[in-house]
């Protein structure tokens, strides 16, 4: 079976976690983490490169040692070092690492101080009040651990969309190669661009359903065949994801696609509308009595019940059915509308590529601009910039801009918001910058009122341009901190600031509901990848999916503007 980039990245992440628990050299730990991030974002499957006999040394962050381990995993499916590390520690410690707020250092303390070896023992210690007694933990951490254990049970049933995407793409490619396949579409929550996916639905129109079924269950990634019939089959892939395949006739393909895309609430609303017109809608078509009146395409299905075609991403019964009944639907943002990116990092702080490399990668995508916003000094773990280094970086950007034609690197900073809402750098430092991105990287456990007031004060700074990843969540790893986002949206509107939709697939922050709320309030959203290496620029697709779920149009997004218009909007955000 082929080893995917996601498999290699997960193995390197696990090695880093286990090394950190054992107290190994932090630079060694960081090397594995950086390599994992690089591999996750590579467009090219590494197993193909290894199988061709090509060296992977030279990919940012991949040296000879890591290259050998990649080759070992591609060829054997395992890494000897990882197996040795697993054998040296209780296996339950890795599950503990998946809880929010429990990094390797804290897991090591819990193991050393309380002899906690797995989630069951951890929960018992938390319920007995033993964790709060450990220095540096406290009652809030103890409560957070219990909440994390509860959420872990929910997370176990779903997968991040970004984790599913490469497997879905490979399976689709495999099935499209089957002779006689006419149409093939992914449906369900994946098509709706949900942040997490419970299972994968695939619809196929084919001349020979048996050939498709055989190819499906014989796929290399299939771990278990749950069912196989003439037109339906279900399997479980190696990563634990269930995939359901249906072969449907051409005359019903659109009806099946509409039905299996969902959501449940959207479909109920459509069926009620159809019933009022004397029609019945199901996966086989739109029926008037025994007569089929539509079913070949989704547009035909919706038109038959008096609706315009709603984009899949907004089919959540949040007003789209009522709007579709008027015949008007918003023209949602598309990837081609993005003109640049306003939040990226370089080797000056914790990025893997130089400013020039990041800029060249952006230019290759057809962008007009790219903002470099390296971390400010407080984030020492990310080699944050003080005023002196930031001034030197601005000089380098000025020099580089003279070498570009039709492209501009914007001077920015990602400035930490301190606990009291003040910014990490003095205002005078911001005077020569094009934009100031502000964000929270600490003190996540403040009360709702404290966190909200903190954010509002940061927005009040006259130099603040964009509030980055406003809720601080990491999907399936860290819950959003307590914050009143409607108040933040209104405050941003009053102050003339912008909010970020962070396209990092681990974040997708703001979520879809808040994006729609910001749009209705007239607050522009900046869709940024928060890139730490050139390959991260490709994550814009995840941000676009989230933006479409939030009903965002081209005009709702800051970085759809050409450079000349963008510069005016950035300057407008400065309030003097």
Give domain limits for the chain: 5-155, 159-247, 252-325, 335-572
Highest CATH level, class, for 335-572: alpha beta
Instruction: Provide the mean pLDDT of the chain.
Output: 92
**Mean pLDDT, residues 472-483 taken together:** 89
Dmax over CA atoms of the chain, in Å, equals: 77
**Mean pLDDT, residues 533-546 taken together:** 94
**Can you give the pTM of this predicted structure?**
0.82
CATH fold of 5-155? DNA polymerase; domain 1 (1.10.150)
Query: Edge-to-edge, what's the strand order for the sheet holding 199-206?
Result: 181-186, 199-206, 242-247, 232-237, 222-228
- Statement: residue 148 has pLDDT above 70: yes
CATH superfamily of 252-325: DNA polymerase, thumb domain (3.30.210.10)
Rounded Cα distance, 119 and 102, in Å: 12
CATH fold of 159-247? Beta Polymerase; domain 2 (3.30.460)
What pLDDT is recorded for position 155?
A: 67
* Residue whose C-alpha is closest to residue 190's, from 549, 511, 557, 553: 549
Rounded Cα distance, 558 and 498, in Å: 8
Q: Using N-to-C axis directions, what is the helix angle for 485-495 and 512-521, rounded to 10°?
A: 30
Shared fold status for 5-155 and 335-572: no
Give per-residue pLDDT as tens, 361-383. 999 999 999 999 999 998 887 78
Task: Say which residue the tokens 């049933």 belong to.
Answer: 157
Q: Which residues, including other chains, have CB under 8 Å from residue 488's CB and lie 6 or more apart?
A: 452, 455, 456, 459, 467, 470, 499
What pLDDT is recorded for position 33?
A: 87
Give per-residue pLDDT as tens, 260-283. 998 999 999 999 999 999 999 999
For residue 568, count other CB atoms closer than 10 A to its CB: 10
Q: Which long-range contacts (CB under 8 A, 24 or more apart) does 212-216 make?
A: 212/175, 212/178, 212/180, 212/181, 212/245, 212/247, 213/245, 213/247, 215/174, 215/175, 215/178, 216/175, 216/245
- Statement: residue 560 has pLDDT above 90: yes
């Amino acid at each position: 079976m082929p080893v995917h980039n996601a498999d290699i990245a997960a193995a390197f992440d696990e090695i880093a976690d286990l090394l950190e628990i054992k107290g190994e050299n932090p630079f060694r730990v960081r090397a594995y983490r950086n390599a994992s991030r690089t591999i996750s974002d590579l467009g090219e499957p590494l197993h193909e490169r290894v199988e061709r006999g090509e060296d992977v040394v030279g990919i940012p962050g991949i040296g000879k040692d890591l290259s050998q381990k990649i080759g070992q995993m591609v060829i054997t499916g395992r890494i000897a070092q990882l197996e040795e590390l697993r054998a040296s520690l209780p296996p339950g410690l890795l599950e503990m690492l998946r809880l929010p707020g429990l990094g390797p250092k804290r897991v090591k303390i819990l193991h050393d101080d309380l002899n906690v070896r797995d989630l069951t023992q951890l929960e018992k210690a938390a319920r007995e009040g033993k964790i709060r007694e450990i220095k540096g933990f406290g009652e809030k951490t103890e409560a957070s651990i219990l909440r994390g254990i509860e959420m872990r049970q929910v997370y176990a049933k779903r997968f991040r969309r970004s984790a599913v995407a490469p497997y879905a793409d490979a399976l689709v490619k495999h099935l499209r190669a089957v002779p006689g396949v006419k149409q093939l579409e992914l449906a369900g929550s994946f098509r709706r661009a949900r942040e997490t996916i419970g299972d994968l639905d695939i619809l196929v129109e084919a001349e020979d359903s048996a050939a498709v079924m055989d190819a499906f269950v014989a796929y290399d990634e299939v771990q278990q065949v749950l069912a196989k019939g003439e037109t339906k089959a279900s399997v479980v892939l190696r990563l634990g994801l269930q995939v359901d395949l249906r072969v449907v006739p051409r005359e019903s393909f659109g009806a099946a696609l509409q039905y299996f895309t969902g959501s449940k609430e959207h479909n109920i609303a459509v069926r009620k509308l159809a019933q009022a017109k004397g029609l019945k809608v199901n996966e086989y078509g739109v029926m008037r009595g025994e007569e089929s009146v539509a079913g070949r395409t989704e547009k035909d299905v919706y038109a038959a019940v008096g609706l315009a075609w709603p984009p899949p991403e907004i089919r959540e019964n949040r007003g789209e059915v009522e709007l579709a009944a008027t015949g008007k639907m918003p023209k949602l943002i598309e990837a081609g509308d993005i003109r640049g990116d306003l939040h990226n990092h370089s080797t000056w702080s914790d990025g893997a590529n130089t400013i020039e490399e990041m800029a060249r990668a952006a230019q290759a995508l057809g962008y007009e601009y790219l903002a470099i916003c390296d971390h400010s000094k407080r984030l020492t773990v990310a080699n944050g910039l003080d005023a002196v280094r930031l001034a030197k970086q601005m000089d380098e950007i000025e020099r580089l801009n003279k070498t570009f034609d039709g492209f501009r690197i914007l001077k920015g900073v990602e400035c930490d918001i301190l606990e009291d809402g003040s910014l990490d750098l003095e205002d005078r430092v911001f005077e020569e910058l094009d934009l100031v991105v502000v964000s929270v990287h600490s003190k996540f456990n403040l009360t709702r009122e404290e966190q909200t007031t903190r954010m509002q004060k940061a927005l009040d700074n006259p130099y603040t341009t964009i509030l980055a990843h406003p809720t601080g969540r990491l999907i399936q790893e860290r819950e959003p901190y307590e914050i009143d986002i409607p108040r933040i949206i209104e405050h941003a509107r009053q102050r003339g600031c912008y909010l970020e939709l962070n396209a990092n697939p681990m974040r997708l922050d703001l979520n879809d509901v808040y994006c729609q709320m910001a749009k209705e309030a007239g607050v522009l959203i900046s869709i940024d990848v928060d890139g730490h290496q050139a390959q991260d620029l490709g994550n814009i697709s995840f941000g676009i999916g989230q933006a479409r779920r939030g009903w965002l149009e081209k005009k709702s997004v800051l970085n759809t503007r050409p450079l000349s218009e963008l510069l005016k909007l950035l300057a407008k955000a400065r309030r003097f």
